[in-house]
Amino acid sequence: MGKTRNFNVINNRIQFKCPSCGARRNSALPPSLRKKSIRCHKCDEIVKCVFNRRVKPRIPHLGKVEMITKDGKNLDVNLRDISAGGIGLDIPIGVLRSRRITVGQQVRFKCRWNPRLLDTGYFVVKTIKDQRIGLKKVSTR
């Protein structure tokens, strides 16, 4: 079961295509499902499936950026990806343990290697999972 495939989800449905035999099948999914192993109905191959529910894809961007909190603290974080509505970051474990970042907190960014990439506006922390943070853009000022 070493095969992992990404499938786009549209209206909670996917079109499963087996990587071994090419058999296709439409399947309905519950809204909360993100990953599942599916067995092909023809060749019995098991495929680990990751479901992409985003309308627009994430664009990978790797680099260090400076995150500035509302109370004026500057933290160096690793930018991982940018999408139409927000960004994804990795933060150092020390910052995570000190609880300087919380869900709902507003932050802004300064990017030295591309100043126009994250130059204006505030972002709100939406999710924190391990060292990964998801932020949503909220305003331009």
Mean pLDDT by 10 residues, the chain (141 residues): 80 92 93 90 92 81 89 89 87 79 90 80 89 84 53
> Which range marks the domain in which residue 77 is found?
59-139
User: For position 24, what pLDDT does the model report?
Assistant: 94
- Alpha carbon 115 to its chain centroid, in Å, reads 22
Number of folded domains in the chain?
Answer: 2
Residues 30 and 66 reside in one and the same domain:
no
In angstroms, rounded to a whole number, what is the distance separating the alpha carbons of residues 100 and 23? 50
Q: Supply the CATH number for residue 115's domain.
A: 2.40.10.220
User: For position 1, what pLDDT does the model report?
Assistant: 47
User: For position 119, what pLDDT does the model report?
Assistant: 67
In angstroms, rounded to a whole number, what is the distance separating the alpha carbons of residues 79 and 114? 12
Residues 41 and 73 reside in one and the same domain:
no
> Last residue of a domain, which of 52, 72, 92?
52
Residues 124 and 68 reside in one and the same domain:
yes
Residues 74 and 117 reside in one and the same domain:
yes
In angstroms, rounded to a whole number, what is the distance separating the alpha carbons of residues 52 and 35? 9
User: For position 140, what pLDDT does the model report?
Assistant: 57
Residues 42 and 74 reside in one and the same domain:
no
